[in-house]
Amino acid sequence: MKLMKLTSLLQKSPLWLQLQAKYELMPEKDRRAFHLLLSFLLLGAVYLFVWEPVTVWNEKQKEEFAHQQTIHEWMADNIGQAKMAQRKQKSSGAKKDLSSIVSGSARQAELTLSRVQPDRKGLGVWIEDAAYQKLLAWMVALDTRYEVTIQQVKIDRGKEEGRVKVYMHLAN
């Protein structure tokens, strides 16, 4: 419907009527040359606006696929090494750093550690005087951010309200 309306508007246009009159006055040889020129321009437009962009896109996709396939193969080849490294990191590195994690995070939480004693199963920590809210926040941080397991906690009332005395046993 819209195409027919557009066609009828185009046919009634003075420019179209003028071009149509010039075309009809052309000799047969010129008309053939004009048709050949229009065909060439149409093919050129199809090549430039359809074929070339599709070809370029296709080449880029092939390169991207090859790159992704190379990455996938490398990952498949090295997955065993990555898992071993992850296991080593969890088992050996974590236990060595427990005391530094505890002391560093306590410093950030503005808590003073009275005593820190390593043993076979983890780390014993004593705090003589701490604000209860800061202690709770620190314990949550140890558990969530540093993945430290709190195995045992003993909390006693401090001398002032809101202050506590604490013993904790921690492990990785």
- Reported CATH class of domain 95-171: alpha beta
CA distances to 5, 11, 24, 66 from 18, in Å: 20, 10, 10, 56
Please indicate, yes or no, whether the overall pTM of this predicted structure exceeds 0.85: no
> In which band, very low, low, confident or very high, does the pLDDT at 86 lie, cut at 50, 70 and 90?
confident
Residue 90 has pLDDT above 80, yes or no: no
The secondary structure of the chain, three-state, reads: CHHHHHHHHHHHCHHHHHHHHHHHHCCHHHHHHHHHHHHHHHHHHHHHHHHHHHHHHHHHHHHHHHHHHHHHHHHHHHHHHHHHHHHHHHHHHHHHCHHHHHHHHHHHCCCCCCEEEEECCEEEEEEEEEEHHHHHHHHHHHHHCCCCEEEEEEEEECCCCCEEEEEEEEEC
Q: In this structure, are strands 122-131 and 149-157 parallel, antiparallel, or unpaired?
A: unpaired
Domain ranges of the chain: 28-90, 95-171
Q: What is the pLDDT of residues 149-170, one digit of tens each?
A: 999 999 999 888 989 999 999 9
